Structure 1
Amino acid sequence: MIKTKYNAKISIDDKEFNVVVSEPSLAQRKELESRASEQKAKLDELSAINLQREELSLEIANKEKILSINTELLSTLNAQQKAELLKENKSICADILSLKKQASKLSAQLKSGDEINAQFEKLMEYKALMLVSGDDKDELFALIKERGIAFSTLWSELNEAVLKDSQKK
């Protein structure tokens, strides 16, 4: 027999809640996928920005290492060579400053990751409102919001409870 509704028992501290979790209908699944795809695009963009920032960090570290080596070499060179090396160091310092500014801008863009986390939580709440029912639903959701529990955490627990219920014979 194929089940489309599963009984789930969720415990928060010492309080137990009995709810029913439904499989999403085709329309509900499409709605959830549509909302999730928007977030996936933003997440992919943030991943690319993070990769750029990491590459800049490696380039900065490399230039700082070259600067350090050049500084050590200064004591072994004549005046003409020192002048050339100091010009090179000056150029490297300018490059490092420019790279650090670029990395800083990328870091600021990554702060929008908090926004994505908030949107993901809204998606999980929307999914819960759509697929969870039962007499204890309202009380469970009220307690979750009161305690500041993430809906993604609720879904972790619900998925385990659904798995247990689906394996019953």
Structure 2
Amino acid sequence: MIKTKYNAKISIDDKEFNVIVSEPSLAQRKELELRAEGQKAKLDELSAINLQREQISLEIANKEKILSINTELLSTLSAEQKAELLKENKSLCEQILELKKQASKLNSQLKSGDEINAEFEKLMEYKALMLVSGDDKDELFSLIKERGVAFSTLWSELNEAVLKDSQKK
């Protein structure tokens, strides 16, 4: 027998809630996928930004190491050689400063990761409103919001409860 609705028992602190979790219909699944696609694009963008930031950090570290070595070499060189090395050090300092500016811009873009988490939570809440039913649903959702429990955490628990219910014979 194929089941499309599962009984789930969720406990928050000492309070138990009995709800029904439905499998999404084809239309519901498509709607959830469409909502998730926007987040995936943002996540891909943030991953690319993070990779750029890491590469810049490595480049900064490399240039700072060269600068440090050059500084040590200054004490062993003639005046003519020192002038050339000081020019190189100046150039390295300017490059490091520019790279740090780029990294700072990227860091500010990465803060939008909080936006993605918030959007993901909205998606999980929307999914819960769509697929969870039963007499205890409203009280459960109210307590979740009151206690600040993430809907993604609720879904972890619901998935376990659904798995248990689906394995019953």
TM-score where L is the length of structure 2: 0.99
C-alpha separation in 2, matches of 1:80 and 1:168: 85
Which ranges in structure 2 are unaligned for 5 or more consecutive residues?
none
- Determine the structure 1 residue equivalent to 2:61: 61
Which ranges in structure 1 are unaligned for 5 or more consecutive residues?
none
Which secondary structure state, in structure 1, belongs to the residue aligned with residue 20 of structure 2? strand
User: How far is the alpha carbon of 1:38 from its aligned partner?
Assistant: 0.7
- Determine the structure 2 residue equivalent to 1:79: 79
Which secondary structure state, in structure 1, belongs to the residue aligned with residue 50 of structure 2? helix
C-alpha separation in 1, matches of 2:57 and 2:163: 44
Identity of aligned residues (%): 90
User: How far is the alpha carbon of 1:9 from its aligned partner?
Assistant: 0.3
Q: How does 1:7-86 map to 2 (within 5 A)?
A: 7-86=7-86
Residue type matched to 2:157 in 1? E
Tell me whether 1:129 sits opposite 2:144 in the alignment: no
User: How far is the alpha carbon of 1:77 from its aligned partner?
Assistant: 0.5
Which secondary structure state, in structure 1, belongs to the residue aligned with residue 75 of structure 2? helix
Which secondary structure state, in structure 2, belongs to the residue aligned with residue 76 of structure 1? coil
The list of structure 1 runs, each at least 4 consecutive aligned residues, that deviate by more than 3 angstroms after superposition, is none
TM-score where L is the length of structure 1: 0.99
C-alpha separation in 2, matches of 1:101 and 1:107: 10
Residue type matched to 1:17 in 2? F
Residue type matched to 1:23 in 2? E
Q: Give the length in aligned residue pairs.
A: 169
User: How far is the alpha carbon of 1:81 from its aligned partner?
Assistant: 0.4
C-alpha separation in 2, matches of 1:25 and 1:55: 44
Residue type matched to 2:80 in 1? Q
CA-to-aligned-CA distance 1:19-45 (integer Å, 9 cap, x gap): 000000000000000000110001000
